[in-house]
Amino acid sequence: MEPAPEMKRNRFPSMNFEAEILAAPHDNSELYVVPSMRSLTAEEYVEAFKSFLDHSTEHQCMDEFNKEEMPRIMAGLGNGKSMINVLGVGSGTGEQDLKMIRILQAAHPGVLINNEIVEPNPQHVAAYKELVNQAPDLQGVSFIWHQLTSSEYEQQVKEKCINKKFDFIHMIQMLYRVEDIPNTIKFFHSCLDHQGKLLIIILSDSSGWASLWKKYRHCLPSTDSGHYITSDGITAVLRRLGIQYRVHEFPSGWDITECFVEGHPAGGQMMDFLTGTKNFLGTAPPALRRHLQEALCQPECSSKKDGRVIFCNNLSMIVVES
């Protein structure tokens, strides 16, 4: 999971489980959130996310997609233009962006690339800029950073009547954090140039996240950490909007073994990332903590390999046509 930290409540009714949780109390009140529990700040999120990346194959999964599908996708962009415009929405620290830029360079040698980035986290923006400064192979690529949330960027574009079109827009693991998913997709799709493509990377419905959210959401704390949404929710939106797309599924795993080791620092950070809560293991009621840990061990969420607990982190790469 690589969401940009736009800490907003969910406004997508079909995905809003919070009201259901609060309206249907369980017999054991200890499964509820207590005042000591709070959402991760943007800085804390960065740390928890790093722990997730260190223990998961998320980026390796994206590398497989880049190798198998991206060259063909990139080859179809630009329509012979001398400059290709790219927009990354919720780009984080930029590692995945630059991998795609290099594939685009290889597919269109000599063509100029204008790469714009929408990313609200200042630490991520700084890390991205440093990555660019250290890269010797990005001649012919210009960079413009917008330190904004996707909704702030959308508002700015509409207020200033900016009519810029992009050949390629990507939204990698960030739609969990936007306030209005259908309208966000609709807006960025409208920013595509003729024959442009929008790439949405989101958790698959075959992932452990989907099972956890669907079957065990009553034991998840109702923080501001975002939507419970997977690929089926996104493709349903695209169908309602009448937009053509295709879906590529890629396997990914997340070693969460340390989540079950009492007092383990990395395990604690992974539980924080999983729940969107600061110090979940230290602040959650014992029954809630136990219930969630039991849920994580269920076969629909995780598998066991060589004594390790591997959470299913499968991704869906949704390629949307203009």
Binding-site residues sit at 58, 313
Residue recorded with tokens 């493709």: 235
CB-CB contact of 309 with 226 (8 Å): no
Bridging pattern class, strands 315-321 and 308-312: unpaired
Binding-site residues for substrate: 58, 313
What span, in angstroms and rounded, lies between the C-alpha atoms of 238 and 219?
30
CB-CB contact of 229 with 175 (8 Å): yes
What span, in angstroms and rounded, lies between the C-alpha atoms of 20 and 33?
15
What span, in angstroms and rounded, lies between the C-alpha atoms of 244 and 254?
31
Cβ-count burial 123-138 (b if 16+ within 10 Å, e if not): bbbebbeeebeeeeeb
CB-CB contact of 119 with 92 (8 Å): yes
What span, in angstroms and rounded, lies between the C-alpha atoms of 123 and 188?
24
What span, in angstroms and rounded, lies between the C-alpha atoms of 314 and 100?
20
CB-CB contact of 245 with 238 (8 Å): yes
CB-CB contact of 314 with 249 (8 Å): yes
Sheet-wide strand order for 308-312: 253-255, 308-312, 302-305
Q: Length of the chain in residues, anyone?
A: 322
